[in-house]
Amino acid sequence: MIDFERLGMGLGGLPLLGGARTRSVCPENPTGEKGKGGMAAPDPVKFPFSAAASDLGRGWKVNPFCKVKPGETLTIMDVDGPGVIQHIWLVADPKKGRSHIIRFYWDGEETPSIECPVTDFFAVGHNKFAPVNSLAVIVNPASALNCYWSMPFRKHVKITFTNEDKDELGLLTYQITYAETQVPENAGYFHAQWRRATTDRANPDYVIVDAIKGKGKYVGTFLAWAQLSDGWFGEGEIKFYIDGDTSFPTICGTGTEDYLCGSYGFPETYSTAYVGNVLKHAGQDGPPKWSLYRWHIMDPICFDKDLRVTIQALGWWPNGKYQPLADDIASVAYWYQEEPHAAFPEFPCLAKRWPR
């Protein structure tokens, strides 16, 4: 576990004075270094938003935002450890969220431990804004994406933002707050993986994540679910195959709305500390869509060797029998584990990420 006493995190830890040092990276202090914030001088070529500060000069909101050209990858954090990321605030365009990719690289690794469309990482599905008011993720109007997952790193962290849209992103801004502090030996690294598939009625199991190797804890699921059939879609069970399980899982849920800590469907939207149904889209411009999150903060799924997580797409036939569904499901799996991690599947191209 992270030493929260050392970090002074949480209400109970705030009075405790430890040895951590708070730092933050943003466009006004891209390195996060001590005493290096707000140093930019107005320069319309180098800092495209600096004209507003031309009469005031250096130190007056010269470089608060970035522009990201089509095809450009911008490094938004690149600092040495040890340390722990505590909060990320990021503002981009939620209507283009699937065009933008965020990647995290821990301790110099060549392949990312987090690779997701930006908005899906923050529990916003289908390129459709919906407010989220949870413990780990908060999304505020009109496009403010926040997360509070603790993300330790020992040697180095690099975070990139890639714009794969045909248009320039006219405004990107962010603030990533972290603590410079020692990281305990048993602290895992944060991982997040995005997937998408249309289920097959012959075998409507959707794979949220598989081939996780090593020791770790599964801590969250986000589902961006698009219905391609009329009626109720949420009878399917989530299953956790842990440490060598083959045909049958160790943990098996009783239904999709049950996993989301609801009952008798999703009659209304809700957003709570650990679970939420934040988007109930009636299908005016495409199929009905749902954005659903479940954070395993108080009940993490612990594994020693490997993990696979699936959920069924299941509804009802008029005769009262279960109906296997061909639904369009995208997901983000969140977990901590020791490194190295197993290779992720190839990240889908934009055409395969774009919502219906």
Beta bridge partners of 198: 328
- Alpha-carbon span 300 to 1, nearest angstrom: 13
Q: What is the CATH number of domain 21-180?
A: 2.60.120.1390
The alpha-helical segments, DSSP class H, found in 130-255 are none
pLDDT digits (tens, 9 = 90+) for 57-73: 899 999 999 999 999 99
Q: How many residues make up the chain in this entry?
A: 356
Q: What percent of the chain has pLDDT over 90?
A: 87
Task: Residues 189-345: name the CATH superfamily.
Answer: Protein of unknown function DUF2961 (2.60.120.1390)
- Are the folds of 21-180 and 189-345 the same? yes
pLDDT in tens, 233-262: 999 999 999 999 999 999 999 999 999 999
Which pLDDT value is given to residue 306? 98
List pLDDT tens digits, range 83-133: 999 999 999 999 999 999 999 999 999 999 999 999 999 999 999 999 999
CA atoms of 352 and 356, how far apart (whole Å): 10
The pTM assigned to this predicted structure is 0.96
Q: Domain segments of the chain: what residues? A: 21-180, 189-345
| pLDDT over 90 (residue 220) | yes
Handedness of CA 33, 39, 44, 45 (dihedral sign): negative
Asked whether the predicted pLDDT for residue 137 surpasses 70, the reply is: yes
CB contact burial 76-87 (16+ within 10 A = b; e otherwise) = bbebebbbbbbe
Predicted confidence at residue 46, as pLDDT, reads 87
In the prediction, which pLDDT does 283 show? 67
- Cα 206 to chain centroid distance, Å, stands at 19
Tell whether the model's pLDDT for residue 222 goes beyond 80. Answer: yes
pLDDT for the residue numbered 3: 61
Please check the confidence at residue 5 and state whether its pLDDT lies above 60: no
The CA distance from 150 to 176, in Å, is 12
Q: How far apart are CA 42 and CA 35, in angstroms?
A: 19
Is the model's pLDDT at 7 over the cut of 90?
A: no
Residue with tokens 């195959």: 241
